[in-house]
Structure 1
Amino acid sequence: MEIKQTAIAGTVESSDIMITLVPNETQGIEISLDSSVEKQFGKQIRKVIQDTLALLKIESVKVVAVDKGALDCTIQARTIAAAYRASGEESYDWKEISTWSV
């Protein structure tokens, strides 16, 4: 999947995460994380984002994540939603996506 435009999913409410995806002019994935629980869970949050992007076959993107204590399933859902918005793809198979586990 190719990221064609900037897209956002999520909020900065408690127990949520706001994921912003921006096209990256260089190859690779860059993750910027702002989290109230970064010291305890920063590695796991980054891993869930990275793994979700890998499942979507995204190889080049800048990610800005503002976390307010989201669970892994919320992080994954917000990343998927932002990715589809940023790619411009209009159809997706939520049944297939729901079987993914990160």
Structure 2
Amino acid sequence: MEIKTTAMAGTLESSDIQITISAGQDGIQIDLDSSVASLYGDQIKKVITDTLTATGIENANVKAVDKGALDCVVKARALAAAQRALETTDQPAWEVF
């Protein structure tokens, strides 16, 4: 699926993650800003990539600012941002969960 607009989900509060998705050309590129990136960066990127792939996104630029979010929060924020970027918020992709 093709990204139609730049979209964001999440906050910069503790235990959350803010994810911004925009159109890309070379697969899913993730710029992660996290104080725990050395420990959990690969897992955070995997959850984001898997969620975007499940929604049909193949090319995207992602900016993620993590404040200690659990995997379930990362997935929820990635899904919300993806649906906003695809302009499909009226058609929730429940099967991604």
Tell me the TM-score range normalised by the shorter chain: over 0.9
Q: Distance in 1 between matches of 2:93 and 2:40?
A: 27
State the SS of the aligned residue for 1:20. strand
Unaligned regions of 5+ residues in structure 1, if any?
none
- Structural mapping, 1:52-63, within 5 Å: 52-63=51-62
Runs of 4+ with deviation above 2 angstroms: 90-97
Q: Map of 1:15-94 to 2, 5 A cutoff?
A: 15-24=15-24, 26-93=25-92
**C-alpha distance in structure 1 between counterparts of 2:94 and 2:52, whole Å:** 18
Change (3 A) 1:40 1:57: same
Aligned partner of 2:88: which letter? E
| Alignment partners' CA distance in 2, 1:18 and 1:90 | 18
SS of equivalent to 1:77: helix
Corresponding residue SS for 1:15: coil
Instruction: Tell me the SS of whatever aligns to 1:64.
Output: strand
Residues matched between the structures, number: 97
**TM-score, with length taken from structure 2:** 0.92
For residues 19 and 48 of structure 2, the distance between their equivalents in structure 1, rounded to whole angstroms, comes to 9
Deviates more, 1:45-54 or 1:88-97: 88-97
Q: Is 1:2 aligned to residue 2 of structure 2?
A: yes
Question: How large is the Cα RMSD of the aligned pairs?
Answer: 1.3
| Fraction of identical pairs, as percent | 55
- TM-score, length-scaled by structure 1: 0.88
CA shift, 1:27, in A, is 3.5
| Per-residue deviation, residues 35-56 of structure 1 (Å, max 9, x unmatched) | 0110110000000001101111
